[in-house]
Structure 1
Amino acid sequence: MSAKLKYATDLEKSVLINNFEKRGWSQVSADEDWNFYWTNVNTTRNIFSLENGYRLSDDQIINHYPNHYELTRKDLMVKNIKRFRKDLDKEGHPLAEKDETGRYIHLDSIPVTFLLPADYNLFVEEFRKNPSSTWIMKPCGKARGIGIFLINKLSQIKKWSRDSRTSSFAPPSARDAYVISRYIDNPLLIGGKKFDLRLYVLVTSYRPLKCYIYRLGFCRFCTVKYTQSMNELDNMFVHLTNVSIQKHGEEYNPVHGGKWTISNLRLYLEGTRGKVVTDKLFDEIHWEIVMSLKAVSGTMANDRHCFEVYGYDIIIDDKLKPWLIEVNASPSLSSTTANDRIMKYNLVNDTLNIVIPTGELPDVRWNKVPPKEAYGHYDLLYDEELANQQELAASGSGGASGSSTERDSRSRGLLAGVGGIRGRDHSRSRAPATWK
């Protein structure tokens, strides 16, 4: 008889504990020998710190990558995506193609964004090109809508400036670091209200990249109808979709929690905009998610003991263009409604079935290829190893090289060459990548 799996957790959430107990796992403290640890990000930092000297064994797995913040901290995500685009541009990679205005055709996933205080002068230059624009400021190290505000005048951020005459900031500190992004002031509205998407993405490996997307994501709605009125710039019930903010609004509905399922959104869009454009929208969203993961794959510590479930926040504008807003390392497992609790229970259940498909003691030496019946509500989003195998098979069959059609098309096969952009020949033809 196999040994019983021992788990530890920092989060006493019912959706976690019920899943662990259902499998017959036994709970131990973090100081004891554990096989599976669902931690918060601070515990993960301590476990992997050099000072700690802790070494994980082959039968231990944990739910965060050591430097997940390369993706989940707002300023680092922006830095990594910009660097990724720049590297591809230097390589002459087809993905870095730009239009006549200099905008990336395939990699235009985030709004124009600057880091403050470092990029203040660059921001001012951009702001003055379009002084009627609205911008949103967010503290880099906070979540749940804390510390966010909108501006439409330079004078509104002079308080961040040490000397307004030179427009230079005081020396930065992590506490004061902000990102400032062009505000998406033309969001797609439903019932006159702004909303965003919360999508769950499971990553089991960064090199090669292997990721899954959860079908049961949801939309979060504001409680007050959207307006571009300057008088409402400070009204967060109009502009911020965070449940932690909206639940304090007078119009908040505790039954549905101001949420729609992704499947309901698809039905609505197919009915109002058509199936073709709806499918294209979700394909674009999936593309942006994979590109963001590829942007950090080179810097992420690809520890084989780790997996991670990210909460992706996406906003769709009225032209059905999706924008990646941010990525959360610890998406909330608290439940605001009965449906919310069921969905999050299933999310944890399906995640465990993929990362420990046998339900028995983990072994990090396994090939991380779970049986398809273990996917549950997950879909395989991208498997880089499989894509590279397909690419090799196609190149071995004598495919044409470097055709103009290939460069002009938005072929998913281009992904196969993104992983190792240094030292690889990107002029070769691309086989179709494994796509959901």
Structure 2
Amino acid sequence: MRFKTTFRNTIYDTLLRRGWKETLENDWDFYWADREYIYDLLDTVHLENGQRVNHYRNGRELCRKDLLIKNLKRAKRQMDKKASELDSILGSYDFFPVTYILPGEYAIFVEEFKRNQGVWIMKPIGKAQGKGIFLFTKLSQISDWRTDFRWRPENQQVETYVVQRYISNPYLVGGKKFDLRLYALVPTFFPLEIYLFRGGFARFTNSRYSNNHSDIANSFIHLTNVAVQKTSENYNKKHGGKWDLRNLKLYMMSKHGPERINKLFYDIQLVIIKSLLSVEKIIMNDKHCFELYGYDVMIDENLKPWLLEVNASPSLSANTSSDYQLKCGMLSDMLDIIDLENKYVTWVVREHVGGFDLVYRDGNV
């Protein structure tokens, strides 16, 4: 195995437990690296049979905020134009907020904003961990920001943002907002196979939710990113602001009943499937590649799921013992699916592997 990544504690420990050894030579079987490095590697190195890397060549089509929205909008138009039998099973593409890409769609966005004012959220496409995100309610707030050097015509490196209608009615637990971090593994895009991990966690804000405009700049109320919340003086290092997905389900079932909550999580499963179908014919499939995606999903007060983001490099560092156990267990199950150790018969479709369930394969849900 080889590494070229910033954080590697859980994946490194998992591989060592399986008896794997690190090498600096080119006779590796498994290469775990940050996505930009893998993109360069796939363009410059000929991979041998049996070598696997942890990203697809153009995976940014799913994981870069503006490209994700472009592909989701295209899939929605195609479904509206001609729905297939599979589309009737999966349902409509109504699981992402109204979104525009700036600066290219600024004029269209302004028209929509004037028709439907409210709270909007700006996100830079090239940053993570909540960096550069802000909320606004007036065009004057974005106009002041728009005069920043990044948007000047002479600047050839204009920073692209997505602007979305803010989900102002989130489902709350204890008065606090949260989102879900879920994991989906795609060992191949041709045929498309999607494994969804049963585990996961809810990430909570430290402060109680408020939709008052006076609180709009308070990141501890509105942003669930751990990197943001852990800077709060109210951050709890013991549980890290996280709640195990199973415990969240049990809590919600006690409030709404098993039937409604089971339907909610089935709807979330469909959201993940539809997002991957939107790029199925765009991602360059390669037998040497696989990818573990981190999905960020929010639930509103009507128990409707909303897709916020898809991460190609979800954080695998662990800040609590339960976090460490969850991620190491998930990574070990992932390696069983990838099966570089040739433990399993290749032509047998495995529907359940550890904590992963096969939720989609080549048109079958």
TM-score (structure 1 length as normaliser)? 0.78
AA matched with 2:100: F
Aligned to 1:146: 131
AA matched with 1:35: D
Per-residue CA deviation, residues 162-220 of structure 1 (Å, 9 max, x unaligned), is 69xxxx98478565100000000000000000000000000011122101111110000
Match status 1:22 vs 2:17: yes
Change (3 A) 1:324 1:224: same
- 2 CA distance for matches of 1:357 and 1:339? 27
C-alpha displacement of 1:14: 2.6
- Using CA pairs below 8 Å that are at least 6 residues apart, which structure has the higher relative contact order? 2
Structure 2 counterpart of 1:255, from 230, 235, 238:
238
AA matched with 2:125: C
AA matched with 1:106: S
Q: How many residues align?
A: 361
- 1 CA distance for matches of 2:275 and 2:196? 14
Change (3 A) 1:334 1:173: farther
Aligned to 2:212: 229
Match status 1:58 vs 2:42: no
- 2 CA distance for matches of 1:89 and 1:372? 31
- 1 CA distance for matches of 2:75 and 2:336? 32
Change (3 A) 1:270 1:304: same
Structure 1 counterpart of 2:144, from 159, 177, 184:
159
Change (3 A) 1:293 1:105: closer
Instruction: Identify the range of structure 1 (351-360 vs 113-122) with the bigger mean alpha-carbon deviation.
Output: 351-360
C-alpha displacement of 1:240: 0.3
- 1 CA distance for matches of 2:92 and 2:163? 23
Instruction: Give matches, 1:366-377, under 5 Å.
Output: 367=346, 369=348, 371=350, 375-377=353-355
Aligned to 1:87: 78
SS at match of 2:159: coil
Change (3 A) 1:233 1:173: farther
C-alpha displacement of 1:17: 1.9
- 1 CA distance for matches of 2:298 and 2:152? 30
Please say if residues 79 and 92 of structure 2, whose CA atoms lie closer than 8 Å, have aligned partners that are also in contact: no
Match status 1:216 vs 2:199: yes
Match status 1:199 vs 2:190: no
Please say if residues 351 and 357 of structure 2, whose CA atoms lie closer than 8 Å, have aligned partners that are also in contact: no
Match status 1:338 vs 2:321: yes
- 1 CA distance for matches of 2:350 and 2:83? 38
- 1 CA distance for matches of 2:303 and 2:38? 38
| Identity %, equivalent residues | 43
C-alpha displacement of 1:37: 0.6
Please say if residues 355 and 368 of structure 1, whose CA atoms lie closer than 8 Å, have aligned partners that are also in contact: no
SS at match of 1:77: helix
Aligned to 1:179: 162
Instruction: Identify the range of structure 1 (105-114 vs 311-320) with the bigger mean alpha-carbon deviation.
Output: 105-114
C-alpha displacement of 1:138: 0.2
AA matched with 2:162: V
- 1 CA distance for matches of 2:216 and 2:247? 29
Change (3 A) 1:159 1:328: same
Per-residue CA deviation, residues 53-109 of structure 1 (Å, 9 max, x unaligned), is x11111201110011100000000000011111123333546778xxxxxx962101
Aligned to 1:379: 357
AA matched with 2:49: D
Aligned to 1:242: 225
AA matched with 1:119: E
Per-residue CA deviation, residues 121-155 of structure 1 (Å, 9 max, x unaligned), is 11111111122x10000000111000000010001
SS at match of 1:86: helix
Change (3 A) 1:370 1:60: farther
- 1 CA distance for matches of 2:347 and 2:68? 26
Change (3 A) 1:357 1:256: same
Please say if residues 202 and 242 of structure 2, whose CA atoms lie closer than 8 Å, have aligned partners that are also in contact: yes
Please say if residues 120 and 169 of structure 1, whose CA atoms lie closer than 8 Å, have aligned partners that are also in contact: no
Instruction: Give matches, 1:68-147, under 5 Å.
Output: 68-93=59-84, 106-131=92-117, 133-147=118-132
SS at match of 1:27: coil
AA matched with 1:323: W
C-alpha displacement of 1:260: 0.7
Change (3 A) 1:356 1:79: same
Structure 1 counterpart of 2:305, from 311, 322, 338:
322
Aligned to 1:35: 29
C-alpha displacement of 1:309: 0.4
Please say if residues 182 and 296 of structure 2, whose CA atoms lie closer than 8 Å, have aligned partners that are also in contact: yes
AA matched with 1:150: L
